[in-house]
Amino acid sequence: MIIIKSPQEIELMRQAGKIVAATLKEIESAIKPGVTTGQLDKLAERCIRKFKAKPAFLGYHGFPASICASLNDEVVHGIPGLRCLKNGDIISIDVGVFYKGYCGDAAVTFPVGEVSSQARRLIDATKESLYAGINKAVPGNNLYDISNAIQNYAESLGFSVVRNYVGHGIGSDMHEEPQVPNFGLPGKGSLLEPGMVLAIEPMVNEGSWEVETLNDDWTVVTRDRSLSAHFEHTVAILQDGPEILTSF
């Protein structure tokens, strides 16, 4: 069942979303060659707690950190640690928080220093595919109108969308119904209604869409080890259209 949120609940999710956005901004300003992913994690945790919020990923199914930090061919769920960012890397940072009983969830892929033009193209395509999807998050559309817009945009530029991981409804739980795939046929899936809140999150690969999980049981990488990018926003569907709750 898709839970419809009241205006009061959406206001709390707006506040949670602002904390996610502020945390991503702090991380963005700290990203440079030589910084470790573990340092970014500590910075994020301090920022989240400063707002009296809780890192939603810490301890989630045993995840050991406050953010996911996925480098280059890593798609999602990279564990922060001792690895240093290098010039030319791309790094996907996923942040989730709990605030006053509600969640916010967003992800951004950042370039580290100077990246290749292909890496830049992949980042831009993934971000734009997210906005193509968000534009379809209006009452009266079907869920897979969002999915289809994302897929069409990414594939029109020669990239592929990951099949095994998808977006999700979000509210008092981090993952609620429905699943929000980044591929699908327009006109299919649940009818979108005001009060639905979705975490829309395209994961776009430079090569094939196939992925596999490393031996740490968390880190998801592209099977062909091509680059991958990830952008996500928490989006409320309102009467007059989508509102991005994690905008920054």
**Residues at the interface with Mg ion (CB under 5 A):** 105, 199
Which two tokens mark 26? 């702090």
Tokens of 41: 């994690």
Residue number with CB closer to Mg ion (41 or 105): 105
Shortest spacing between CB 51 and Mg ion, in angstroms:
19
Minimal distance in Å, beta carbon 201 to Mg ion? 5
58 exposure class (CB count in 10 Å sphere: 0-12, 13-18, 19+)? middle
Nearer to Mg ion, 119 or 199 (CB): 199
Which one, 97 or 119, has the nearer CB to Mg ion?
A: 97
Q: Please identify, using beta-carbon distances, which residue of 115 and 201 lies nearer to Mg ion.
A: 201
Nearest distance, CB of residue 162 and Mg ion, angstroms: 13
Q: How far is the CB of 199 from Mg ion (least distance, A)?
A: 4
211 phi/psi in degrees, rounded to 5? -130, 165
Element (H, E) at 147: helix 143-156
The residue among 170, 172, 181, 191 whose CA lies nearest residue 246 is 170
**Residue (of 66, 64, 85, 60) closest to 74 by Cα position:** 85
